[in-house]
C-alpha cells in the first residue's frame, strides 16, 4: 500500500501546474481590460505608457525596462509607483524569477486596486514551492472578498488552491470541503479544463486515505472529461492517473493500455513543439527564397525594357544611329554591371546557405541523436525505477535541448544579419540596466554551477547601440563565460573608461582560459566556425562570430584577454557618441 500512496501523490503534483495555468489564463480578458481602464489616468507619463503597452502585449523584458525608467524618474506618485511595482512583479513571475516577484509585490500598498491580484500570485508561488501554510494565509486573505474586488480572480480557484494546501498538510476534512465547493462552482461555469484538474485532486484526496471506492469514480470522471478537451497536458495527466490506479488494482493489462495512451499524449506535446520550431525555420528560409526570386525578376524586367526601347528607337531614329548605338552601349555596360553584381550577391547567398545547411545537418543531427540515445536510456531506467539515473538523464536532456535551442536562435540572427534583413536602431541607453536584464535569465544556470556573479557596471555609463543586438551579444558572451567556468567559479561584468570615444564592457570569468594561438584564431573574421580545444564543451562557435558581426554593425570593436588556466576577459568597445555625431 505504501507504493500506491507514493504514486498517487506523484500524480497530484502533475495536476497542479495545469490548474495554475488555467487560473492565470481563464479571466485574462477581464484582468487586462481592468488594467487598461484603471491605469489610463497615468497615460501622460511616456515611460509608464510604454510599460503598460508592453505589459498588455506580454513583452515582459520591455515592461521591466520602462517600468524601472518610470520609477527612476522625478515623478513620485504613490498609485503610479504601485502600478510600476505591480507590472514588474507580474513580469518577473512570468519569467519564473520568484524572489524578484516577492520583492516587487512587497512594495505595493494595501489600498492599491490590484493588491489582491498580487496576493493571489504570491499564494500560487508559495503553493508551487510547497510552502502550504504560507499559501493558506495569502488565499484566506482573498477568500472573503466580493466579486467587485476580485478583478479577474475566480472564486473557484481560491477555494481550489485552499483545498490543495490542506490536502498536502493532510487536513483531509478541510481539503474535502474546499475542493467540493470549488468543483461545484466550476461545474456551474462549465470550465472543462479546471474540472478535470479538480476531479483528479478530489480523487487523490480519497486515494491517499485508502478510500479507493470514492477515489476511482473521480479518476474516471476526470479521464472521461479529458476526452472532450484538446489540451494534451490534461489528457496526458488523466491517462497517467488511470494507469496508476489500474496498476495498484493489479489489472496490469488495462494499466498498460492507459500507459500507452499517456505516452501518446506526451509524444503529441513534444511533436507540437518540434513542428512549431521547424515551421519557423522553414518560414524564414521561404522568405529568403522569395526575396531572391523578386530580385531576379526585377533584373530580368530591366533587361527586357532596355532591349525593347533599343529596338524601338533604332527603327525610328535612323539618322541618329551613331548616337543611339553609343546610348545602348552604355546601357549594356550598366546592365552587365548590375548582372555581375547580382551574380556576386547570389554566390554569397549560396555560400551562406551551404554553411547554414552544414551546421544544421551536423550539429542538430548530433543533438537529436544524443537526445534519442538519452531517451532510450530514460525508458530503460524508468522501467527499473532508477530515480538517481533518471534525474541525471533528465538534466542531460535539458542541456541538449538548451544547446540546440541556442544554436537555432544564433542561426536565425546570423542568417538575418548575413542577408541584411535585421533591423538596427542606434539609440542611447544605460548599460547597467541592459546587463541586469540579460543576467536575470542566466541566474538559474549560475546557481546550478554555484558561480559567484558580480555586476559593477556604473549606472551612469551611457552607450549608443542597438538594444536588441546588444542583448544578443551579452547573452552569447555570458553563456560562454558560464559554459567555460568551473564549478564555484566567478564571473564579473564591469566597465573600463580608458578611452574618450568608447566604453569598454568587460565580461570576465575565472574559467578554463585559452592559449595565445586560440585567442588570435577566435579574433579572425575569415572562418564561420571555430573549433574549441575542450571537446567536452558543446558548441559550434557560431555565437562568437555572430557577436563580432553585431559589434561591428554597432560601430564597436571586440578583443580578448586570456591565459590558459587563468580565465578570460571578453571586451566589447561600445561607442559613447552617435555615429558621425
Statement: residue 399 has pLDDT above 70: no
> Among the residues of 317-386, which ranges form H helices?
321-359, 365-384
Cα distances (Å, whole numbers) of residue 469 to 17, 423, 464: 34, 9, 12
Phi/psi at 528 (5° precision) = -70, -45
* C-alpha cell at position 63: 515592461
Distance in angstroms (rounded) separating the CA atoms of residues 88 and 423: 27
DSSP symbol at 41: G
Distance in angstroms (rounded) separating the CA atoms of residues 267 and 248: 25
Q: By percentage, how much of the chain surpasses pLDDT 90?
A: 16
Residue with cell 542561426: 411
Q: Judge contact between 269 and 234, C-beta under 8 A.
A: no
Q: What is the pLDDT of residue 492?
A: 93
Q: What is the pLDDT of residue 99?
A: 92
Pairing of strands 502-509, 426-430: unpaired
* C-alpha cell at position 203: 480523487
Residues contacting 576, CB < 8 A, separation 6+: 462, 463, 464, 500, 501, 502, 503
Q: Which one, of 438, 430, 471, lies nearest residue 576 by Cα?
A: 430
Distance in angstroms (rounded) separating the CA atoms of residues 242 and 219: 7
Coil, helix or strand for 413? helix
Cα distances (Å, whole numbers) of residue 553 to 337, 414, 466: 27, 12, 9
**Other residues' Cβ atoms within 10 Å of the Cβ of residue 237:** 25
Who wins on pLDDT, 351 or 140? 140
Band (pLDDT 50/70/90 cuts) for residue 272 is low
- HSE (CB half, 13 Å, CA atoms) of 305? 7
Q: Which one, of 455, 448, 438, 454, lies nearest residue 488 by Cα?
A: 448
Give burial (CB, 10 Å; 0-12/13-18/19+) of 73: middle
**Other residues' Cβ atoms within 10 Å of the Cβ of residue 41:** 10
Statement: residue 426 has pLDDT above 80: yes
Distance in angstroms (rounded) separating the CA atoms of residues 262 and 241: 9
Residues contacting 363, CB < 8 A, separation 6+: 404, 407, 540
Give burial (CB, 10 Å; 0-12/13-18/19+) of 70: buried
pLDDT digits (tens, 9 = 90+) for 376-390: 777 777 777 777 777
Region of 456 on the Ramachandran plot (φ > 0 left; ψ -120 to 50 alpha; else beta): alpha
Distance in angstroms (rounded) separating the CA atoms of residues 333 and 562: 52
DSSP symbol at 112: S
Who wins on pLDDT, 212 or 64? 64
Q: What is the pLDDT of residue 348?
A: 66
Phi/psi at 104 (5° precision) = -70, -45
Statement: residue 457 has pLDDT above 70: yes
pLDDT digits (tens, 9 = 90+) for 521-536: 888 765 554 444 444 4
Give burial (CB, 10 Å; 0-12/13-18/19+) of 474: buried
Q: What is the pLDDT of residue 289?
A: 67
Partners of residue 562 on adjacent β-strands? 568
Residues contacting 168, CB < 8 A, separation 6+: 130, 132
Q: What is the pLDDT of residue 1?
A: 34
Partners of residue 452 on adjacent β-strands? 490
Query: Within the chain, how many helices (H) and strands (E) appear?
Result: 22, 7
Average pLDDT over residues 110-128: 89
Who wins on pLDDT, 39 or 259? 259
Q: What is the pLDDT of residue 565?
A: 86
Residues contacting 331, CB < 8 A, separation 6+: 306, 310
Q: Judge contact between 206 and 10, C-beta under 8 A.
A: no
Cα distances (Å, whole numbers) of residue 117 to 39, 67, 138: 15, 18, 10
Average pLDDT over residues 475-494: 90
Who wins on pLDDT, 485 or 301? 485
Distance in angstroms (rounded) separating the CA atoms of residues 540 and 300: 39
The overall average pLDDT reported for the chain is: 79
pLDDT digits (tens, 9 = 90+) for 2-48: 334 334 333 343 333 333 333 444 455 677 777 877 777 777 888 88
Q: What is the pLDDT of residue 375?
A: 80
Q: Judge contact between 473 and 556, C-beta under 8 A.
A: no
Residues contacting 373, CB < 8 A, separation 6+: none
Q: In what order do the strands lie in the sheet with 502-509?
A: 452-455, 490-496, 502-509, 568-575, 557-562
> Among the residues of 465-555, which ranges form H helices?
467-483, 516-522, 542-553
Coil, helix or strand for 211? coil
Statement: residue 245 has pLDDT above 80: yes
Distance in angstroms (rounded) separating the CA atoms of residues 407 and 221: 44
Does the pTM of the predicted model rise above 0.75?
A: no
Distance in angstroms (rounded) separating the CA atoms of residues 304 and 291: 20
Amino acid at each position: 500500500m505504501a507504493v500506491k500512496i507514493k504514486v498517487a501523490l506523484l500524480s497530484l503534483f502533475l495536476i497542479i501546474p495545469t490548474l495554475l495555468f488555467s487560473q492565470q489564463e481563464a479571466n485574462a480578458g477581464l484582468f487586462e481590460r481592468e488594467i487598461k481602464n484603471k491605469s489610463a489616468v497615468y497615460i501622460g507619463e511616456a515611460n509608464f505608457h510604454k510599460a503598460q503597452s508592453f505589459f498588455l502585449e506580454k513583452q515582459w523584458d520591455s515592461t521591466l525596462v520602462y517600468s524601472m525608467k518610470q520609477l527612476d524618474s522625478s515623478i513620485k506618485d504613490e498609485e503610479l509607483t504601485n502600478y510600476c511595482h505591480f507590472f514588474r512583479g507580474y513580469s518577473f513571475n512570468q519569467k519564473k524569477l520568484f524572489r524578484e516577484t516577492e520583492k516587487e509585490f512587497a512594495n505595493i500598498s494595501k489600498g492599491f486596486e490590484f493588491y489582491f491580484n498580487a496576493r493571489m500570485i504570491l499564494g500560487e508561488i508559495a503553493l508551487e514551492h510547497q510552502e502550504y501554510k504560507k499559501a493558506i494565509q495569502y488565499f484566506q486573505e482573498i477568500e472573503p472578498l466580493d466579486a467587485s474586488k476580485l478583478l479577474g480572480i475566480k472564486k473557484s480557484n481560491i477555494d481550489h488552491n485552499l483545498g490543495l494546501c490542506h490536502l498536502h498538510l493532510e487536513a483531509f476534512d478541510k481539503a474535502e470541503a474546499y475542493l467540493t465547493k470549488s468543483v461545484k462552482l466550476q461545474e456551474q461555469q462549465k470550465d472543462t479544463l479546471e474540472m478535470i484538474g479538480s476531479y483528479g485532486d478530489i480523487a487523490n484526496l480519497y486515494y491517499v486515505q485508502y478510500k479507493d471506492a470514492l477515489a476511482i469514480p473521480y479518476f474516471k470522471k476526470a479521464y472521461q472529461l479529458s476526452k472532450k478537451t484538446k489540451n494534451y497536458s490534461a489528457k496526458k495527466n488523466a491517462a497517467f492517473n488511470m494507469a496508476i490506479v489500474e496498476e495498484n488494482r493489479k489489472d496490469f493489462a488495462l494499466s498498460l493500455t492507459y500507459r500507452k495512451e499517456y505516452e501518446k499524449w506526451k509524444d503529441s506535446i513534444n511533436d507540437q513543439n518540434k513542428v512549431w520550431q521547424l515551421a519557423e525555420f522553414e518560414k524564414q528560409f521561404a522568405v529568403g527564397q522569395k526575396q531572391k526570386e523578386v530580385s531576379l525578376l526585377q533584373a530580368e524586367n530591366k533587361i527586357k525594357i532596355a532591349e525593347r526601347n533599343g529596338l524601338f528607337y533604332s527603327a525610328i531614329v535612323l539618322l541618329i544611329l551613331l548616337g543611339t548605338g553609343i546610348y545602348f552601349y552604355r546601357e549594356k555596360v550598366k546592365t552587365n554591371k548590375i548582372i555581375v553584381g547580382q551574380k556576386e550577391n547570389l554566390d554569397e547567398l549560396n555560400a551562406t546557405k551551404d554553411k547554414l545547411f552544414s551546421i544544421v545537418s551536423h550539429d542538430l543531427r548530433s543533438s537529436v541523436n544524443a537526445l534519442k540515445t538519452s531517451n532510450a536510456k530514460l525508458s530503460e531506467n524508468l522501467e527499473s525505477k532508477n530515480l538517481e539515473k533518471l534525474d541525471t538523464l533528465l538534466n542531460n536532456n535539458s542541456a541538449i535541448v538548451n544547446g540546440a535551442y541556442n544554436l537555432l536562435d544564433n542561426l536565425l540572427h546570423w542568417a538575418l544579419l548575413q542577408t541584411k534583413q535585421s533591423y538596427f536602431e542606434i539609440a542611447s541607453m544605460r548599460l547597467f540596466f541592459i546587463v541586469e536584464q540579460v543576467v536575470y535569465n542566466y541566474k538559474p544556470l549560475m546557481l546550478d554551477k554555484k558561480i559567484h556573479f558580480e555586476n559593477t557596471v556604473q549606472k551612469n555609463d551611457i552607450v549608443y547601440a542597438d538594444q536588441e543586438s546588444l542583448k544578443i551579444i551579452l547573452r552569447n558572451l555570458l553563456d560562454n563565460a558560464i559554459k567555460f567556468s568551473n564549478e564555484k567559479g566567478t564571473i564579473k561584468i564591469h566597465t573600463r573608461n580608458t578611452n574618450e570615444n568608447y566604453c569598454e564592457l568587460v565580461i570576465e570569468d575565472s574559467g578554463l582560459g585559452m592559449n595565445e594561438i586560440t585567442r588570435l584564431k577566435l579574433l579572425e573574421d575569415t572562418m564561420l566556425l571555430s573549433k574549441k580545444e575542450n571537446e567536452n564543451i558543446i558548441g559550434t562557435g557560431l555565437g562568437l562570430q555572430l557577436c563580432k558581426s553585431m559589434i561591428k554593425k554597432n560601430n564597436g570593436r571586440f578583443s580578448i584577454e586570456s591565459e590558459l588556466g587563468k580565465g578570460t576577459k571578453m571586451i566589447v568597445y561600445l561607442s559613447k557618441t552617435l555615429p558621425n555625431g
